[in-house]
Amino acid sequence: MNRFDTFAMLDWSGGNDTGPRPCRDAIWLGVTRDGVDEAPMYLRNRAEAEAALMALIAAELAAGRRLLIGVDFPFGFPAGFARGLTGCDNPFAVWDWLETVIEDAPGGNNRFDVAGEINGRFPGVGPFWFNGLKREIDGLPRKDTRAGHGMAEKRAAEARAPGAFTCWQVGGF
Final residue belonging to a domain, choices 53, 71, 89: 71
Q: Is residue 26 part of a domain?
A: yes
Specify whether the CB–CB gap between 124 and 148 falls below 8 A: yes
For residue 173, is pLDDT > 60?
A: no
Under the banding of pLDDT at 50, 70 and 90, the label for residue 107 is confident
Specify whether the CB–CB gap between 93 and 84 falls below 8 A: no
Q: 26, 30, 25: which is closest to 10 by C-alpha?
A: 30
Those residues whose C-beta lies under 8 Å from the C-beta of residue 18, and which sit 6 or more positions away, are 25, 26, 27, 44, 45
Q: What is the mean pLDDT of residues 147-166?
A: 89
In this structure, the answer to whether residues 90 and 155 fall within a common structural domain is: yes
Q: 95, 150, 102: which is closest to 127 by C-alpha?
A: 150
For residue 148, is pLDDT > 70?
A: yes
Q: 92, 97, 96: which is closest to 76 by C-alpha?
A: 92
The gap from C-alpha 38 to its chain's centroid, in whole angstroms, comes to 24
Q: Indicate whether this model's pTM tops 0.85.
A: no
In this structure, the answer to whether residues 93 and 152 fall within a common structural domain is: yes
- For residue 132, the enclosing domain spans 81-159
For 52-99, the pLDDT digits (tens) are 999 999 999 999 999 999 998 888 899 999 999 999 999 999 999 999
In this structure, the answer to whether residues 87 and 154 fall within a common structural domain is: yes
Final residue belonging to a domain, choices 52, 71, 90: 71
Q: What is the mean pLDDT of residues 124-151?
A: 92
Residue 34's pLDDT is 94
Query: What total number of domains does the chain contain?
Result: 2
Residue 81's pLDDT is 96
For 14-30, the pLDDT digits (tens) are 667 778 888 877 899 99
